[in-house]
Structure 1
Amino acid sequence: MTYLYALAVAFITVMALVPVVRAAALRLGFVDRPTGRKIHSKPIPLSGGVAIFAGVILSSFLFLGSHPLLRTIVTGGAILVAIGLLDDSFKSRGRDFPVWPRLLLYIAVSFIPVWHGITIQGVSSPSPAAMILFPPVISAIVTAVWVFALINMVNFIDGIDGLASGVCVISSLTIFFASLIESQQVTAVVAIALAGSCLAFLAYNFHPARIFMGDAGATFLGYTLAVIAVDGTLKGATFLSLSVPLLALGVPILDTVIVFTRRILEGKGLHRADNLHTHHSLMKWGLTQVQTVSFLYLIAAVFSLLSIVVLLMLR
């Protein structure tokens, strides 16, 4: 029942907070204004990430207290939400926050899980007895790279109504079930709280969206998914079980690989905003926003189901 309560608390918190933060954003002019590459046609409030952050943290704290995993998520998440709000404030004024300062801050945040002892410790063959432990420095770097990548990948797919929030519902539920299989109850609580928060936000964010999560929400979701994936399945993974979080987070990972490949081939900067993402391509081929999002939900669900099958095969 604890998991059901955690889901409910997160869901209710976000459902209650979104109208409040939305109204505040409209009063302050904190909105994403339409531009040449934007799909929406009118200004949309950017404050949704604050509600998601509050839902995850409140629900997790009620059922976990001051657990090291939660402290890791609060510390890194609060910094990312602050950076995201600053970035979003630039967008609301038609300006861009400088790329390099933002990336350097993301790199610093990516080492916070390492500081709290949440690391990818090594890999093994199918036999756990053949564990290959990483030296501490390698473990720290591998973990930080994973976290940094997910922070950016989830942010990249937050390009049309309901995509990032819906995919994160599917991914967090997958990590929830994987954590239960691996007897990682603490990780499971955070994962189900994340799912509840994203599901509630999706009610406001599905097309036509009434609010966006902004960079504050997208980077927080990426960070939290990365951390709970490490804590739940990646601490000491077999070569085969490495596929579990990779599949669970398959849509943002695959989208990033495709986009970066296309940018390199076209000689564009890797972090330059464009319309090369998978969701943009699907819409250029004639799909509506709802059809595009539904198709990518299906892909995410298939990847997630495969990840659970792989995990069960390993037991």
Structure 2
Amino acid sequence: MYSLTEYIIAFLISIAVAIIATPIVKRLSLKFKIADNANQRKVHKGVMPSAGGLAIFAGTAAGFLYLMPYSPYMTEVVIAGTLIIFLGVFDDKFVISPKVKLIGQIIAAVIVATSGLQVEFVSLPFVGRIEFGFMSFIITVLWIVGVTNSINLIDGLDGLAAGVSTIAIGSILTMAVLDQQLVVIALAVILIGSTLGFLIFNFHPASIFMGDTGALFLGFSISVISMLGLFKSVTVFSLIIPVIILAVPIFDTFFAIIRRIMKKQKISTPDKFHIHHCLLAIGFSHQSTVIIIYLLSFFFGVSAILFSASTLWGSLFLLVLLLVVIQFTAELIGAMGNQRKPLINTLKKILIFTSTMKR
């Protein structure tokens, strides 16, 4: 069992190493031409170093070596996480095909699943505990690959993926503390420290991107610690809680898949209709868009914590409320995206009229 002092030291080590490593990674990225070039779909301009995820990995590794959290699954998790880092670096450098990237993610997920760390059951109201049996392996692989890609897909603005990931991990940390899950606490603390250390350089205007190296690593890490903690819960809605925590990236990914299927496009086809693109299109600034999504992520994180601590009927009420919020937000963004400038002009006219009436 770790003391509070040890957790604080691990956090400080992780954030310090990430802060020190980021400028070094930036120089190495430019030297070895691991950079993100601007194009029609990208928001940034010019050439941006894009291997910042290595700094997050360095901070995480330093904190991990200090705490050395033990779990019977840890060897396989570390191997799979290292594979994800190599996959991300290769993609940032050479831009590998989506198919190759997906195969690499599946291999990493299979390594974790073969360790025995699997989503073995869910608990649902009025039904109770449902065992997945032989399907546990497949569901585990799908969960890891799905969450990994959801963080990767939302990585479209300065500081967005890092901030959303930090909020999600912070929510998991809070629940792990309440449930005294020491391994999850340790991993969450060092991940938050390393991500915040990198975020100093990545928040708008960013001087470096995390790239697929960072986005894939954070997504993979979140999927694993959620399985170590949230899916091992025997409380009602053990499946719903991690989904609520990751609601913003998961639903953004879900809508992206539906959108591309309806357009008869490949699922991997990039577009500019993710939630951050829509907010930018209706007139919000880069920084405002990121903060809005932070607030949405924070709202869902707090909701998940309240959800886990509520009674059955209280949880059902919160679930209905969350579904309404999700639906309302999706429709509002869609409507505003269709109106764009006319809507902004209408709002301006209302404000002008209101100010005139006050006079």
State the TM-score, normalized to the length of structure 2: 0.82
Equivalence for 2:294: 297
Deviations 1:161-220 (CA, angstroms, capped at 9, x unpaired): 000000011001111111112221111110111111111111000011111111111101
Equivalence for 2:131: 133
Which of 3, 13, 16 is residue 7 of structure 2 equivalent to?
A: 3
CA distance in 1, matches of 2:234, 2:153: 27
**Counterpart of 1:131 in structure 2: which amino acid?**
R
Equivalence for 1:31: 35
1:73 matched to 2:77? The reply is: yes
Contact 2:89 2:212 in 1 (8 A): yes
Secondary structure at the residue paired with 1:44? strand
**Counterpart of 2:17 in structure 1: which amino acid?**
T
Quickly say closer, same or farther: Cα 1:44–1:167, change in 2 above 3 A.
same
Contact 1:155 1:215 in 2 (8 A): yes
Quickly say closer, same or farther: Cα 1:8–1:125, change in 2 above 3 A.
same
Equivalence for 2:99: 100
CA distance in 2, matches of 1:313, 1:60: 33
Which of 256, 260, 271 is residue 259 of structure 1 equivalent to?
A: 256
1:41 matched to 2:32? The reply is: no
Contact 2:81 2:221 in 1 (8 A): yes
**Counterpart of 1:35 in structure 2: which amino acid?**
N
1:50 matched to 2:47? The reply is: no
1:280 matched to 2:277? The reply is: yes
Q: Higher Cα Rg: structure 1 or 2?
A: 2
**Counterpart of 2:11 in structure 1: which amino acid?**
L
Equivalence for 1:181: 178
Tell which has more relative contact order, 1 or 2 (C-alpha 8 A, sep 6+): 1
Equivalence for 1:167: 164
- Identity %, equivalent residues: 33
| Structure 2 residues without counterparts, runs of 5 or longer | 313-359
Q: Which moved more, 1:52-61 or 1:42-51?
A: 52-61
Secondary structure at the residue paired with 2:303? helix
Deviations 1:112-138 (CA, angstroms, capped at 9, x unpaired): 22122211111234599x533221x21
Q: Which moved more, 1:163-172 or 1:115-124?
A: 115-124
Q: CA deviation at 1:269?
A: 1.3
**Counterpart of 2:89 in structure 1: which amino acid?**
L
CA distance in 2, matches of 1:88, 1:73: 22
Equivalence for 1:89: 93
CA distance in 2, matches of 1:271, 1:84: 16
CA distance in 2, matches of 1:221, 1:71: 18
Q: CA deviation at 1:43?
A: 0.7
Deviations 1:62-84 (CA, angstroms, capped at 9, x unpaired): 11256445434321111111111
Equivalence for 2:115: 116
**Counterpart of 2:109 in structure 1: which amino acid?**
S
Q: CA deviation at 1:238?
A: 4.6
Quickly say closer, same or farther: Cα 1:243–1:125, change in 2 above 3 A.
closer
1:231 matched to 2:232? The reply is: no
Contact 1:119 1:235 in 2 (8 A): no
1:246 matched to 2:243? The reply is: yes
Secondary structure at the residue paired with 1:132? strand
Q: Which moved more, 1:298-307 or 1:48-57?
A: 48-57
Secondary structure at the residue paired with 1:170? helix
Q: Which moved more, 1:108-117 or 1:202-211?
A: 108-117
**Counterpart of 2:104 in structure 1: which amino acid?**
L
Deviations 1:245-301 (CA, angstroms, capped at 9, x unpaired): 111111110111121222222222111111121111110111111011000000000
Contact 2:19 2:198 in 1 (8 A): yes
Equivalence for 2:152: 155
Runs of 4+ that moved beyond 4 A: 125-128, 236-239
**Counterpart of 1:274 in structure 2: which amino acid?**
D
Equivalence for 1:13: 17
CA distance in 1, matches of 2:72, 2:284: 44
**Counterpart of 2:257 in structure 1: which amino acid?**
F
Q: Which moved more, 1:283-292 or 1:110-119?
A: 110-119
1:312 matched to 2:312? The reply is: no
Q: CA deviation at 1:24?
A: 1.1
CA distance in 1, matches of 2:27, 2:265: 38
RMSD: 1.8
Contact 1:182 1:233 in 2 (8 A): no
Quickly say closer, same or farther: Cα 1:70–1:18, change in 2 above 3 A.
farther
Contact 1:61 1:70 in 2 (8 A): no
CA distance in 2, matches of 1:165, 1:14: 13
